[in-house]
Amino acid sequence: MSSSSYQGLLASICATGVLVLAAASSPTAAQIVSLPSYNVDINQTSVSGLSAGGYMAVQFDVAFSSTLRGAGIIAGGPFYCAQGSVLTATSTCSCAPFGCFWQSSTNVAQLIAITDRDAGRGRIDATGNLARHKIWLFSGRNDTVVPQRVMDDLSTYYRHYIDAGNISYKNDIAAEHAMPTDFFGNPCATLADPFISNCNYDAAGQLLQWIYGTLHPKNTGQLGGSFINFNQSEFIDQATSHGMAPDGWLYVPATCGNKEGCKLHVVFHGCKQYETYRYSSPSGQTTFGTTYVRNTGYNKWADANNMIVLYPQATASGSNPNGCWDWWGFDDPDYAVKTGRQMTAVKRMIDRIASGYEGLPAPADLQATAVADTTVSLSWSAVAHATGFNVYRDGASATSSPVIATSFTDAGRSPGRTYSYTVKAIDSTGAEGAASSPLNVTTTGTPTILAPTNVKIDAVGAASVTLSWTAPADATGFDVFRAGTSGGPFAKVNPSLVTGTNFTDTGLTGSTTYFYVIKSEGAGGGLSGPSMEVSAKTEAPPTCFTATNFDHVVAGRAHDNFFFRRGQRLEPIAGPRQRVHCHHAEADRPEFLRDRLLPLTLPRSGRAS
Catalytic machinery residues: 51, 143, 177
Smallest Cα–Cα separation from 207: which of 288, 133, 289?
133
At residue 385, what is the residue type? H
Q: Give the separation between CA 121 and CA 127, rounded to whole angstroms.
A: 12
The full DSSP string for 497-563 is: -B-SSEEEE-SPPTT-EEEEEEEEE-TTS-B------EEEEPPPPPEEEEEEHHHHHHHTS--SS-B
Smallest Cα–Cα separation from 77: which of 96, 57, 97, 63?
57
Q: Give the separation between CA 57 and CA 180, rounded to whole angstroms.
A: 17
Q: Give the separation between CA 473 and CA 226, rounded to whole angstroms.
A: 55
Q: Give the separation between CA 293 and CA 273, rounded to whole angstroms.
A: 10
Specify whether the CB–CB gap between 108 and 145 falls below 8 A: no
Cβ of 94: how many Cβ atoms within 10 Å?
32
Give 367-403 as a 3 state SS string.
EEEEECCCCEEEECCCCCCCCEEEEEECCEECCCCCE
Q: Give the separation between CA 24 and CA 240, rounded to whole angstroms.
A: 13
Q: Give the separation between CA 416 and CA 410, rounded to whole angstroms.
A: 15
Residue 320 C-alpha from the chain's centroid: 37
Q: Give the separation between CA 295 and CA 182, rounded to whole angstroms.
A: 10
CB-based burial of residue 105 (10 Å sphere; 0-12 exposed, 13-18 middle, 19+ buried)?
Answer: exposed
